[in-house]
Homo-oligomer: A and B are copies of this chain.
């Protein structure tokens, strides 16, 4: 999917919501455990109930790997279901990968070509040649960790490197990589006040913003400092939406939570006119 197609979808749905499909069998409604594939059954119900309210889904691969082969089968079924039934939806493999060049190429091929995701999250620590193999894919996005939503972000990301914070160095340096127009960045909602500085370095790139809801981030603050003329934001919510209820009404309860965020986003989008 191109960036313009994503922007068109955002304007049509009046939403820049991404729903994180982080499926934990201990947290889903227990009646689903009788299904042949409880993880996929859960995802399908969530997708069917929420796809008009969001523009993207983001399965975190850790939750699928934790269930071994069955987990990977559920991930494959989920991405195929999305691509077949909702091709307008943007898909993110939250994998946080990154390795030496020829190995990163294997990861890129797996997520972009074999699974058919529109984008994948990657970690910057190994530098340019660990990321450029992802960037080489046309009409795919590579979402680089910049400033994450967790407490550990302060261990290294905000430390000053040659006078400027490491996460800013990551932003600046990555702008010079080949096909850098295919980059997006992860910036945690819990650090919304950093967004004004970030926008000075990358005024146009899309930001994937986790941490709204369960982790305490605030949507209005994120929009105030982070919105670009072309929106430039994908706000992710996982637990706050998908675990809104553990009863048989779980999908409808998720849609209700998603709609609250979608309505707030509709309000925020007015500032672009």
Q: Does A173 contact B (CB under 8 A)?
A: yes
A63 nearest in chain B by CB position: B106
**Chain A residues touching B, range:** 35 or more
Q: Are A99 and B69 within 8 A (Cβ)?
A: no
Query: Within the assembled complex, what's the spacing in Å between the Cα atoms of A109 and B26?
Result: 14
Q: Are A106 and B65 within 8 A (Cβ)?
A: yes
Interface residues of A in 70-95 (CB under 8 A from B): 72-73, 76
Query: Within the assembled complex, what's the spacing in Å between the Cα atoms of A35 and B170?
Result: 45
Contact with B along A167-202 (1 / 0, CB 8 A): 001100100000000000000000000000000000
Q: Are A161 and B152 within 8 A (Cβ)?
A: no
Q: Are A68 and B62 within 8 A (Cβ)?
A: no
Q: Are B127 and A153 within 8 A (Cβ)?
A: yes
Q: Are A161 and B150 within 8 A (Cβ)?
A: no
Interface-central residue, A125, A126, A170, by most chain B CB under 10 Å: A125
Q: Does A104 contact B (CB under 8 A)?
A: yes
Q: Does A231 contact B (CB under 8 A)?
A: no
Q: Does A130 contact B (CB under 8 A)?
A: yes
Q: Are B156 and A104 within 8 A (Cβ)?
A: no
Query: Within the assembled complex, what's the spacing in Å between the Cα atoms of A110 and B128?
Result: 29
Query: Within the assembled complex, what's the spacing in Å between the Cα atoms of A156 and B161?
Result: 8
Q: Are B107 and A62 within 8 A (Cβ)?
A: yes
Q: Are B110 and A60 within 8 A (Cβ)?
A: no
Q: Which of B60, B73, B96 contacts A69 (CB 8 A)?
A: B73
Q: Are B150 and A156 within 8 A (Cβ)?
A: no
- Using A62-B107, A126-B148, A150-B130 as known contacts, say yes or no to A166 and B156 having CB atoms under 8 A apart: yes
Q: Are B60 and A103 within 8 A (Cβ)?
A: yes
Contact with B along A97-119 (1 / 0, CB 8 A): 11111011011011000110000
Pull 7 A–B residue pairs with CB atoms less than 8 Å apart, ordered by A: A66-B107, A125-B156, A126-B145, A128-B152, A128-B155, A129-B152, A166-B166
